[in-house]
């Protein structure tokens, strides 16, 4: 029995205008009202997606969000951290060495703000991520705190070339995923959306057989594989589609609603 619906945002729940359509909103609100946990799963902090949380009415005491690609499970009301997994500053040194050698920008995130490395070339991450504090910081002055991830945000054509020649050491040390065509994320090795979802399912006394997950990209693959119902959008990547339980319409054709209306037909009538 599906008790939880996990939803990636970009190119999944959100259309090309970065909006939740009226149809998707209506269907998800109806399922939420009937007791299904609706959980947004994103690489962004909760403040950056708060308008979507409010739009769907996910503001009850038992509503949670998976942020930082599974590195943080946060209560939507109290903002308490139910689960978190991050990295120390020294864990990022191999990545620092790489971007210095290749003259690449890098943004480093804790669980509250973004540190844009000011002694590296300028990043385009500010144009992508809203509703969070950015702080220009030299690499040497980064605080000794727990970091959620590091992000390389550069034009898509250049990023594809960087990814093609990414050193094996970085692939082995980090969970490196491309979340958007212009964004490469470097996460703690164990961090994945399915890790955060497992913590949340455990909290509710459920397991992955009770989960329906929607996604499209590499950073959704873990939860798509783990979920009892792993649904991939028509616009999803081929390797993610290959792991799906089922496919649905594209993000611009209300694919989330299309599948839910069919699967939960008895609850939505």
Provide the residue ranges of all domains of the chain, joining segments of one domain with +.
4-84+191-268, 89-188
Place of tokens 């690609």: 69
Q: Considering the candidates 8, 107, 192, 206, report the single residue annotated as catalytic.
A: 8
pLDDT (tens place) for every residue of the chain, 269 residues total: 999 999 999 999 999 999 999 999 999 999 999 999 999 999 888 988 999 999 999 999 999 999 999 999 999 999 999 999 999 999 999 999 999 999 999 999 999 899 999 999 999 999 988 788 999 999 999 999 999 999 999 999 999 999 999 999 999 999 998 888 999 999 999 899 999 999 999 999 999 999 999 999 999 999 999 999 999 999 999 999 999 999 999 999 999 999 999 999 998 87
Determine the Cα angle at 184 with ends 72 and 171, to 5°: 90
pTM, full prediction: 0.86
Can you name the CATH fold of 89-188?
Answer: 3.30.1240
Q: Answer yes or no: are the C-beta atoms of 221 and 212 closer than 8 Å.
A: no
Cα–chain center distance at 165: 24
Q: How many CA atoms lie within 13 A of 84 on its CB side?
A: 16
Residue 67 and residue 83 in contact, taking contact as beta carbons nearer than 8 Å: no
The helix/strand/coil state of 75 is strand
Sort strands 4-8 and 211-215 into parallel, antiparallel or unpaired: parallel
Burial class (CB in 10 A: 0-12, 13-18, 19+), 17: exposed
Asked if the domains 4-84+191-268 and 89-188 are classified in one and the same CATH topology, the answer is no
The Cα 240–Cα 221 span in angstroms is 6
In terms of DSSP H, where are the helices of 22-155?
22-33, 50-56, 93-102
Domain covering 4-84+191-268 in this structure, CATH number: 3.40.50.1000
Active site residue 253: no
Q: Which residues have C-beta within 8 Å of that of residue 35, sequence separation ≥ 6?
A: 3
pLDDT tens-digit readout, 204-233: 999 999 999 999 999 999 999 999 999 999
């Amino acid at each position: 029995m599906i008790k939880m619906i996990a939803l990636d945002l970009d190119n999944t729940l959100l259309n090309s205008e970065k909006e939740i359509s009226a149809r998707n909103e209506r269907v998800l609100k109806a399922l939420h009202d009937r007791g299904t946990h609706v959980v947004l799963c994103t690489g962004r902090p909760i403040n950056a997606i708060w308008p979507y949380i409010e739009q769907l009415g996910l503001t009850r005491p038992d509503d949670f969000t998976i942020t930082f690609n599974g590195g943080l499970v946060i209560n939507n009301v109290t903002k308490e951290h139910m689960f978190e997994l991050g990295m120390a500053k020294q864990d990022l040194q191999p990545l620092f060495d790489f971007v210095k050698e290749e003259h690449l920008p890098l943004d480093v995130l804790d669980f509250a703000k973004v540190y844009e490395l000011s002694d590296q070339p300028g990043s385009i991450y500010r144009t992508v991520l809203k509703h969070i504090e950015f702080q220009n910081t030299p690499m040497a002055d980064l605080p000794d705190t727990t970091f959620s991830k590091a992000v390389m945000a550069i034009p898509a054509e250049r990023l594809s070339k960087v990814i093609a020649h990414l050193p094996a050491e970085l692939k082995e040390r980090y969970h490196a995923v491309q979340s958007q065509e212009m964004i490469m994320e470097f996460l703690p090795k164990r961090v994945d959306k399915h890790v955060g979802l497992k913590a949340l399912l455990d909290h509710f006394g459920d397991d992955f057989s009770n989960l329906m997950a929607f996604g499209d990209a590499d950073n959704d693959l873990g939860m798509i594989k783990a979920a009892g119902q792993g649904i991939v959008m028509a616009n999803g990547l081929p390797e993610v589609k290959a792991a799906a339980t089922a496919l649905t319409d594209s993000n611009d054709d209300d694919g989330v609603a299309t599948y839910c209306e069919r699967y939960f037909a008895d609850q939505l009538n």
